Structures are given as C-alpha cells and as structure tokens.
Amino acid sequence: MFDFIVFIIVIFVIFSVVFENIRLKNKNIELLFLMTQLKLDNESIKKKILSNEDIEKDHLINFLSETRELAFNEIEKLQKNIKEFIDIADKEFNYFDEYGILMSQYPHYNTLKKVSEEYKKLKNLLPNEINDGR
C-alpha cells in the first residue's frame, strides 16, 4: 500500500512538472512574440521619428526661405521709400547746407540743422548703387 501511495505522489509530481513545463513553454512563446512585436514597433517608431525630423527640416527650410523673401521685399520697399524721400528733399537740404548759415538768426535754424544731419545719416543707410543711381 505504501508503494501505491508513493507511486500516486510520484505520478502527481510528474504530471505537475509536465503541466508547469507546458505552461512555462506557452508563457515563453507568448513573451517571445511580445518581444518580437516590441522590436518591430520600436523600428517603426524610429522610422517615423526620422521621417518626422526630415519633414520638420523641410518645413523649417521652407519657413526660412519664405521669411527671407518677405524680409527682402520689405527691405526693398523701405529702400524705395527712402529713395523717394531723398529725391524730393535732397535739393532743399543741399540748399540749407550751402546757404543755411545765412539763416542762422531764424528761430528754426538749429532744428533744421539737426534735421539736415539726420537726413545725411539716413541717406548713408542706402546702398551705394541705390544712392548713386539718381
């Protein structure tokens, strides 16, 4: 009888170990599948990040070129307006610079002198090809 009880216990232990082995094998297969899926997801995310970086670089380059073009347009417009002002006011300021000393007794002489100096500074801001192109 004792042999029979030991036999039953050994059979039970063997079945338990076999069952646990099967369960662990299935768990390992499931973990292997999950690990493979994670590696694939990781590669996919890396590709998306790299493509997003390329897209962001393209957007940045487009933004910089567009803003550069807008800035150049604004600069050209400002230079054109300054040139128009210079074309209109140049004769008067040259006259003042040449004969202004005769008007030194008038109350606005100092103001006109300051304006004339600032006018010269403004005139010097224009590029030479625009300034000399009159």
In single-letter form, the type of residue at position 29 comes to I
CA distance 116 to 97: 7
**Predicted TM-score (pTM) of this structure:** 0.48
Closest among 121, 134, 128 to 87, alpha carbons compared: 134
Burial class (CB in 10 A: 0-12, 13-18, 19+), 38: exposed
Segment 74-80 mean pLDDT:
88
Instruction: Check pLDDT > 90 for residue 17.
Output: yes
For residue 124, the number of C-alpha atoms closer than 13 Å in the C-beta half-sphere is 6
Tell me the percentage of the chain whose pLDDT exceeds 90: 30
